[in-house]
Chains A and B, each alone.
Chain A
């Protein structure tokens, strides 16, 4: 029996020796919610980042081979900090494309800063993530909810709408949208008849919607993401509420259209950055994404994850394997061409998104407003089709 024991000890030591063996490719981290309620977005982002890696690896002009280290933050701050520590403490990972959920990103930027880990946010929209600190490591390719709501409010007021009711979820995302949209709307002279904070796992909105029906607004603004967006839009129909449904970037997804079916028609939403479809690189992205036959679509923020990963790859290609130099390179990014338009980081590492794209659902597709029949006057937003 002692021999068995010896064997075990030998195996242990051998296994320690083996595990330290290193892979030669350059590692990039990806963090997003892969399980739980918003996993659709996380998986879409993961697939897009994976696509960027695959394309880079098949590109002979690239110096390095890349490997994506994917981690799930469950959209929970404590798990987020846990995986951020894991990524940042691993010296073989040179940069990270991280976070869809704002509450997670707010907590992890400290960790990334502590470890000097260059990171690019691909989906979280809370302004505080970049503007709340002066960490050189922190960057963000997507815009914040401030820009988005300012454009949204101005656009809607210019369209001639006067009264709004706001429904928002009580997460940081919904609450932030409520705050910035209300501020902008006040600035442009719209009237808010009431605002309703609802929990993100709520199923039934009939009571709230009945109350809203009695307020009779022209527009219902919804600050939140697809799952409850779908619920609210379908339940609006049950109560025969014909107000215009105006959403945020969180509902720009194929899932919204699939979930609401024909009711999706004439839903408005706004997103930072140019539309992928409209950019030469963007249509390549969509084509390549299709070619890979991922089981789920890229969702609204997939292009951002793709752009962030490409940017990180470009940084590594240009500077070599050193986190400080990568950070420095990223801080100097100006007019970098990507699937989401040109990327320029300001002193906070925030991409100065020059453009907010307006979308409207027309015949089961998110159509850019300027190209839609609503713009040309063939259809009317305020009228049920």
Chain B
């Protein structure tokens, strides 16, 4: 792995860029007044343009390619630093955990939509299935780790009801199947008293091997537990997603997505691969839904509407379809931006929609579009396209 041509300056600038991104992240999250928010954004944009001109981002990619252990270690250090700075900031931690969990769910969608080409407009429904499973099991004293896993499994199982229509349809027709499911799911929840009806259902706080999630941890906020848990889950899911992409699994998915007819001519079982992607994806969404529900402590049908499914799909699209790394800034933008716009009160959703439109006009393919598959090392950077 050791390449002799990695310059010290490359490493330095890469580390600097990562540090600057972390600083931007924290100050954006913690900025409370409009002025500090504006300064943060202005500085962020300033640094972005500067770094882009100096090709710092390319350096970062080179660095991550050639020193993966160092790179990932650094990320862990930065995250620990962020957590230790924010450890008393309940709200910032809450937002970090939300973004992380939504991103985890979106990795599931990336598998389905980005890799296998299955449009899933029922993301929030599967999130809700995970959440409600955890709610019911946790209220019956099932250990939390099991109930979260069950949340994922239930999401996969219920998702399998849709497999037949999804296998038979394509494109917009498949989209309709999931849209219909998403709409009927919410109404079903509202009408069903067993699941708490429209006022929702409460979930007792998590307890993992005697580690109570409702108690303050490490002298900080009780949300730290959720942040750590969701970061670990996200790390694992992201790892799996990227492994899938790199492996022969990913090749099969790509081939199924790009040309079904050609794939089946080459002996690829289209149905098998679609079912695999759909099931794994729903499993990821279900798991993150389970943890999210546990963190909220109370879920209701209005959390899992078609509109929320659209939020999930928006994150995937905005990130750049098929690029799991792009999901991270997109999730941050879609979830934290409306929150930061609270100061304009009722005008915030209007401004939010306009901002997203502007982002899309300037980056029609999403924030970070999917790179070309790298068959040889020398081929192109791994996660930012042209």
Contacts and interface: CB of A to CB of B under 8 A. Distances in A.
Interface string B309-326: 000000000000000000
Contacts of B191: 170, 197
B219 to A, nearest CB: 16
Contacts of B33: 19
Contact of A170 (B187, B202, B292, B348): B187
A16 B27 contact: yes
Interface string A77-99: 11001110110111000000000
A81 B296 contact: yes
A18 interface: yes
B298 interface: yes
B273 interface: no
Given A77-B300, A107-B300, A85 B200 contact: no
A77 B197 contact: no
Max chain A Cβ within 10 angstroms of own Cβ: one of B197, B200, B345: B345
B298 A107 contact: yes
A43 B302 contact: no
Contacts of A76: 302-303
Max chain A Cβ within 10 angstroms of own Cβ: one of B20, B94, B95, B298: B298
Contacts of A128: 199
A326 interface: no
Contact of A81 (B39, B54, B297, B349): B297
B298 A81 contact: yes
B27 A83 contact: no
Contacts of B91: 85-86, 89-90
B31 interface: yes
B169 interface: no
A82 B35 CA distance: 22
Given A8-B43, A172-B197, A39 B346 contact: yes
Contacts of A172: 197-199, 300
A110 B222 CA distance: 14
Given A15-B43, A85-B94, A170-B198, A103 B349 contact: no
A70 B345 contact: yes
A15 B28 CA distance: 11
Contacts of A70: 342, 345
B40 interface: yes
B251 to A, nearest CB: 37
B89 interface: yes
Given A1-B54, A11-B43, A171-B190, A72 B346 contact: yes
A12 B43 contact: yes
Contacts of A1: 50, 54
Category for how many chain B residues contact A:
35 or more
Interface in A1-54: 1, 4-5, 8, 11-12, 15-16, 18-19, 34-35, 39, 42-43, 46
Contact of A77 (B94, B214, B302, B342): B302
Max chain B Cβ within 10 angstroms of own Cβ: one of A83, A111, A170: A170
A37 B379 CA distance: 51
B331 interface: no
A15 B346 contact: no
Contacts of B89: 89
A12 B297 contact: no
Contact residues of A: prevailing secondary structure:
helix
A255 interface: no
A19 B346 CA distance: 25
A342 interface: no
B275 to A, nearest CB: 30
A106 interface: yes
Interface in B176-196: 187, 190-191
B41 to A, nearest CB: 11
Interface in B21-49: 23, 27, 30-33, 35-36, 39-40, 43, 46-47
B90 interface: yes
A75 interface: yes
A213 interface: no
Contacts of A115: 90
Contact of A72 (B190, B292, B345): B345
A110 B297 contact: yes
A46 B303 contact: no
Nearest to A169: B198
Contacts of B47: 8
Nearest to B23: A12
Max chain B Cβ within 10 angstroms of own Cβ: one of A77, A111, A128: A77
B339 interface: yes
B299 interface: yes
A316 interface: no
B98 interface: yes
Contacts of B197: 172, 175
A85 B349 contact: no
A174 B200 CA distance: 14
Contact of B40 (A15, A89, A106, A176): A15
A275 interface: no
A77 B299 contact: yes
Max chain B Cβ within 10 angstroms of own Cβ: one of A1, A4, A82, A103: A103
Contact of B298 (A34, A35, A110): A110
Interface string B40-79: 1001001100100010000000000000000000000000
Contact of A43 (B54, B297, B346): B346
Interface string B197-222: 11110100000000000100000011
Contact of B200 (A83, A89, A107): A107
Interface in A107-135: 107, 110-111, 114-115, 126, 128
Interface in B340-382: 342, 345-346, 348-349
A344 interface: no
Contacts of B199: 102-103, 106, 126, 128, 172, 175-176
A83 B340 CA distance: 11
B195 to A, nearest CB: 13
A106 B297 contact: no
Max chain B Cβ within 10 angstroms of own Cβ: one of A46, A70, A72, A126: A72
A273 to B, nearest CB: 23
Max chain A Cβ within 10 angstroms of own Cβ: one of B33, B39, B296, B339: B296
Given A11-B43, A77-B299, A78-B292, 11 more contacts: A5-B50, A12-B43, A72-B346, A76-B302, A106-B200, A107-B200, A110-B202, A110-B297, A115-B90, A170-B190, A197-B191
Pick the 10 closest A-B CB pairs, nearest first: A107-B298, A89-B90, A19-B36, A172-B199, A34-B346, A172-B198, A103-B300, A77-B300, A86-B91, A170-B190
11 contacts: A5-B50, A11-B43, A12-B27, A15-B43, A35-B346, A82-B94, A86-B94, A106-B300, A107-B300, A126-B199, A171-B198
